[in-house]
Amino acid sequence: VAIPEVGVMDMLRFHKFTIGWNWQPEYGSSDNEKDFKFLYAYSPLHNIKTNIDYPATLVVTADHDDRVVPAHSFKYISTLQEKYKRKNPVLIRIDTNSGHGSSNISKYIDMNTDIYSFILYNMGLEWKSK
C-alpha cells in the first residue's frame, strides 16, 4: 500500500506553481539542462510505467494547498490511472476547504480514518478492539 500525501510529483514543472519557484535552490530547475536530467530521473510523475504491479495507492491532497498545489496530485493520479490497468485500486482523496495540512481536528481525524481504512482493507487486515 502506498499513501503519497501532498507530494511534489512533477519535478519538471514544480517551479511554475505558486511558491515552487522558491524550491529551485534545493531541487534545481528543469530549465537548466543539467538539472533536467536529474529531476527527470526521480520525478514521480515522469517515472510511472506501464505493465508494473503498483501497490494499492491512495493519493492525499487538499483543494486549497498553496504550498504543494493539488495539481501535482491530480496529474500524478490521472497518469497512474491511465497507465496502470491492474487489480489494485488507485484513488485520490481531496480534502476540501483545507490547505497544506488539515484545517481542524475533525478533518484530521476524517483523513486519517480514510487512510487507515484504506491500508487495513488493502492489506487484508481487520481492526480488532481490545
Q: Model confidence over 52-111: pLDDT tens digits?
A: 899 999 999 999 888 899 999 999 999 999 999 889 999 999 998 888 876 789 999 999
Examine residue 129 and state whether it is found in any structural domain, yes or no: no
Q: Domain range spanning residue 44?
A: 14-122
Examine residue 130 and state whether it is found in any structural domain, yes or no: no
**DSSP code, position 18:** G
91 exposure class (CB count in 10 Å sphere: 0-12, 13-18, 19+)? middle
Q: What is the pLDDT at residue 100?
A: 80
pLDDT digits (tens, 9 = 90+) for 21-33: 999 999 999 999 9
Domain count, the chain: 1
Examine residue 127 and state whether it is found in any structural domain, yes or no: no
pLDDT above 90: residue 127: no
Examine residue 6 and state whether it is found in any structural domain, yes or no: no
pLDDT above 80: residue 35: yes
